Amino acid sequence: MREQTSREALPEEFRRFARGVERDGAPRYAGICRGIATDPWLLDLVAQAPPDQRRPNIILAAVHYLLLGGADHPLAAWYPTVAALHGQPVGATCAPFDDVDGAPLADGIFTAFASFCRAHRDELALLIATRATQTNEVGRCTALLPALSTVAKRSNGAPLAVVDLGTSAALNLHFDEYAYRYAMHDATRDAGRAGSRVMLHCDVIDGEPPTAPVAVARRIGVDRSPVDVRDDDSARWLLACQWPDHLDRFSLARDAIALARSSDQPVEMVEGDLVESLRRLVPTVPDHAHLCLVHTWVAAYLAPDEQRALRAEIAAIATTRPVSWLFAEAPYEVPELPLPLSPDGSGKSPTAVVLVEDGPDAPAPSASRLADMHSHGRWLRWFGLVGQGR
């Protein structure tokens, strides 16, 4: 469960965030957040967010949203995403930012940021008070494809009914419409839909992830705040929640949104809590389809008792029909979910990919740690169906 931040704790929250994003290769946001930590007016603005949104991301997204919408201000020149969105060459309009250690550069972007916020205070106050940050990380499909391919292989030819819990904009339900390039040892392997406008790259550190095509009977996304990417404003907000320093991820999200808008694969969206929605949804999935419940980077939002409720709900479903439960979550966030250790004993991993198989004929649920992965899918350590456990 995400912690809530008081006004007093905000300066340290921004400094901590700055250190983290600097490690993640985001010097612009590091410079901005260090500046915000020293600016009481900006901190008061952030404090207007609902308690569960009182975090650096909300003001960063709100400013990015206005810039992507065309707000005219010198700050725009510091954001390569703004140039990219308007089809301009990034280098031509983006302020120089090649020395991330130089204080003047960090000061420069923050000075422009602070001036922008004062010029747009009313619009920002409204966005901060009413919006929630939202992400949908398409890169995770580099782990989902082999994991779903594994499920498909074990479903005795039945097409999958894939239910993505905490689906956000449901971009990952289009996993089979993306092109993949896996770098494996000395070779590369291409998979997915050749020529797709969404091209995902992944370094395979260990193992051989299966990439056979997956037959999908139904695609259902569940979210308490679903994002409709066909709506221009929702799509802009989703893009605004990306970081301007990570132009590659921003471009990927744009391409995935464009693909989803033109896709002929029907995706059903259900608004609501994931456990409650499951209860209503599952009886609508026909028996000829194999039920596959998926969640990626969602359990962090669930308190331990909600994680237990999800586990119990899936166990109840398994008394009525075979079910595969596939999740990719940070191990420290999921104390109440089944989590076998990595078979290679590597211990800590940003994200564990786990498959739990259960059903009326199974003596007990079996959990396999299929893989460890980078949280955005940049690398994969593939174990497959070994290491079954709790």
Ligand X SMILES: C[S@@+](CC[C@H](N)C(=O)[O-])C[C@H]1O[C@@H](n2cnc3c(N)ncnc32)[C@H](O)[C@@H]1O
Binding site for ligand X (CB under 6 A): 134-137, 140, 166-168, 222-225, 273-274, 296-298, 301-302
In the structure encoding, which two tokens stand for residue 203, read together? 């370094």
Residue closer to ligand X, measured from CB, 170 or 291: 170
Closest separation in Å from C-beta 271 to ligand X: 9
Closest separation in Å from C-beta 294 to ligand X: 8
> Which residues sit opposite 92 in a β-bridge?
none
Rounded Cα distance, 334 and 308, in Å? 10
Residue closer to ligand X, measured from CB, 111 or 133: 133
Rounded Cα distance, 318 and 161, in Å? 15
Closest separation in Å from C-beta 263 to ligand X: 17
3-class DSSP state for residue 179?
Answer: strand
Closest separation in Å from C-beta 310 to ligand X: 9
Residue closer to ligand X, measured from CB, 45 or 200: 200
Residue closer to ligand X, measured from CB, 117 or 143: 143
Q: What are phi and psi of 316, to 5 degrees?
A: -65, -40
Residue closer to ligand X, measured from CB, 158 or 309: 309
Residue closer to ligand X, measured from CB, 375 or 388: 375
The distance from CA 316 to its chain's CA centroid, rounded to whole angstroms, is 28
Closest separation in Å from C-beta 137 to ligand X: 4
Q: Calculate Rg over the CA atoms of the chain.
A: 22
Residue closer to ligand X, measured from CB, 38 or 225: 225
Residue closer to ligand X, measured from CB, 34 or 311: 311
Closest separation in Å from C-beta 158 to ligand X: 24
The distance from CA 212 to its chain's CA centroid, rounded to whole angstroms, is 24
Closest separation in Å from C-beta 124 to ligand X: 22
Q: For 94-115, give the DSSP string.
A: SPP---TT-HHHHHHHHHHHHH
In the structure encoding, which two tokens stand for residue 149, read together? 């391919």
**Nearest residue relative to ligand X (C-beta):** 166
Residue 324: in which H helix or E strand, if any?
strand 323-329
Q: Which amino acid, 36?
A: I
Listed residue (287, 128, 259) closest to 195, CA to CA: 259
3-class DSSP state for residue 70?
Answer: coil
The HSE-up count of residue 249 (CA atoms within 13 Å, CB side) is 22
Strand ranges, E, within 80-178: 160-165
Closest separation in Å from C-beta 355 to ligand X: 16
